[in-house]
Amino acid sequence: MKIWYLWILILLVSCSEPEILKEVNWNENCISWEVLDGGATTSFKWLIKYSEGGENRKDLIFESYSSPYISDIEVYKDELLILCPNIRNKVNDTITINLKDINKYIDEPIVYEQDILKRKNEYYKEPSFVKKDREYAVANGLL
């Protein structure tokens, strides 16, 4: 019986529309930061999508389920800065994506699930803070 409720919950979460938290512009293109809120029993699913010019189509470039936790996005020059709170050090760490390589991210988006890098491309360099968070989670039985 419990499995039935779990499947219903997964279906409801997977069918819900993401909420747009912020949109930023780069060279007249739009980058959106979106979230699917899993509620009390599941984690947030962070989505960063890119759309060219006035197109309605949004392409996924970055996804994170649970962690790394995303607190904001910004564009600085030709870089997308994905801000991630570091609670232990009380600072924001940053994942950086070179927007000049945006087509590589559209073709092969970055995907994390609980600090584990599930999919990457040759242009993405995983920041050391994400690796350290993963090592900390493994060492403390959090994953």
The 10s digit of each residue's pLDDT in 48-84 is: 999 998 778 899 999 999 889 999 999 999 999 999 9
pLDDT of residue 140: 81
The tokens describing 9, both together, are 């919950």
Q: With beta carbons less than 8 A apart as the criterion, state whether 116 and 137 touch.
A: no
pLDDT of residue 98: 96
Mean pLDDT of the chain, nearest integer:
85
Give every CB contact of residue 81 below 8 A, 6+ residues apart in sequence. 73, 74, 75, 94, 95, 96
In the three-class reduction of DSSP (H, G, I as helix; E, B as strand; rest coil), residue 44 is classed as coil
Reported as a pLDDT band with limits 50, 70 and 90, residue 11 is very low
Domain span at residue 135 reads 2-139
Which pTM was predicted? 0.81
Q: What is the mean pLDDT of residues 7-35?
A: 79
The 10s digit of each residue's pLDDT in 117-127 is: 999 999 999 99
| Gyration radius of the chain's alpha carbons | 16
Question: What is the count of structural domains for the chain?
Answer: 1
Q: Is 31 exposed, middle or buried (0-12, 13-18, 19+ CB in 10 A)?
A: buried
Dist. CA 21–CA 58, nearest whole Å = 15
Dist. CA 106–CA 65, nearest whole Å = 18
CA 92 to each of CA 36, 53, 101: distance values in angstroms, whole numbers, following the listed order:
22, 30, 24
